[in-house]
Amino acid sequence: MKIFLKKTLMAPEGPFDLSIDVEVRDGECVSLFGRSGCGKTSILRMIAGLQAPQEGLVKADGEVWFDSSAGINLPPQKRAAGFVFQEYSLFPNMTVEENLKFALRRGEEAVRVQEYLGLVGLKGLERRYPSKLSGGQKQRVALARALLRHPKVLLLDEPLSALDVQTRWRLQDEVLRLYEKTGITMILVSHDPFEVMKLSGRVFMLEAGRIVKSGGPQDVFCGSEWEVFFQSAKNGPRAVRGF
Ligand SMILES: Nc1ncnc2c1ncn2[C@@H]1O[C@H](COP(=O)(O)OP(=O)(O)OP(=O)(O)O)[C@@H](O)[C@H]1O
């Protein structure tokens, strides 16, 4: 996947120029990591087509989603991207099953809903409304819904950050399992260095819209202000709790 984006972002302290140019390999999980306001969510939104860059090229599996030089800008529904946000974006007036069916394309079989419910461990909850689900269960539904559309890329924007630590750790394992099972390309935005280390093969560290460091988690975090977290994580969760 090719991602080249340029856009001036309007931060409260003044505008800054986001400019990134990266290649993400098929089946790779990469993370965007950086302080609040550095442009991580904007990047995901531009990939998904929810926001347009001033200049850029977004290409997935040979398909051009955005190309400023050729005047191409596919709408979000034409881009094979699955999106899971921090806040639960389920329809509150629909059951779990209805929320998933809504994601199916016309003519697709409802049986796939059961398959995906099984994939995220939610069988038996299909008739529940979102208000009767825990935060972790809601995010499982959101993940299933995103995967149902056969995305070429799964965009995860702080998907687990509203969850308690234990649920979060469990769901990180689930995401890892889904990732291994589906072989999908993932781009994760997370503030949590542990999550980044656990889930991603490559990290892009951002500052004010620019990639200042990239590589494996060890290369990126060692020697940075995040090294202490990296070392703690290597020592296991108990060491982390005591930190
Ligand atoms: N459409 C837009 N046009 C211009 N600037 C924008 C637009 N959308 C967001 N911004 C600004 O861009 C900056 C970066 O926002 P963004 O949400 O991408 O950062 P982030 O790194 O994801 O932050 P956080 O970690 O807090 O979610 C913010 O100052 C925001 O106000």
- Rounded distance, CA 1 to CA 20, Å? 13
Separation of CA 185 and ligand 1 centre (Å): 24
Check if the beta carbon of residue 187 is closer than 8 Å to that of residue 154: yes
Q: Which atom of ligand 1 is nearest to the CA of 8?
A: 4
**pLDDT confidence of residue 133:** 92
Three state DSSP letters for 90-113: CCCCCCHHHHHHHHCCCCCCCHHH
Q: Is 41 in the pocket of ligand 1 (CB under 6 A)?
A: yes
- Which residue's alpha carbon is nearest to atom 26 within ligand 1? 36
Q: Ligand 1 pocket, 121 CB below 6 A?
A: no
* Locus of tokens 């796939």: 112
Q: Is the CB of 139 under 6 A from ligand 1?
A: no
Q: Which residue has the tokens 């950086």?
A: 34
Ligand 1 contact, 40 CB (< 6 A): yes
Residue 49 beta carbon below 6 angstroms from any ligand 1 atom: no
Dihedral sign, CA of 173, 174, 177, 179?
Answer: negative
For ligand 1, what atom is nearest to the CA of residue 42? Answer: 18
| Helix (H) / strand (E) containing 204 | strand 202-207
| Interatomic CA distance for residues 100 and 147, integer angstroms | 10
The reported pLDDT for the residue numbered 240 is 39
**116 near 144, Cβ under 8 Å?**
yes
Nearest CA to ligand 1 atom 17: 41
* Rounded alpha-carbon distances, angstroms, from residue 57 to 2, 76, 157, 213: 7, 15, 21, 21
- pLDDT per residue rounded down to tens, the chain (243 residues): 999 999 999 999 999 999 999 999 999 999 999 999 999 999 999 999 999 999 999 999 999 999 999 999 999 989 999 999 887 789 999 999 999 998 887 777 777 888 888 888 888 999 999 999 988 889 889 999 998 888 999 999 998 887 888 888 888 998 898 888 889 999 999 988 889 999 999 999 999 999 999 999 988 988 888 777 777 766 554 443 332
Q: How far is the C-alpha of 89 from the C-alpha of 59, rounded, in Å?
A: 26
Any idea what DSSP says for residue 46?
A: H
Q: Among residues 68, 54, 179, which one has the least CA distance to residue 119?
A: 179
Going 178 to 27 to 198 to 137, the CA torsion angle's sign is: negative
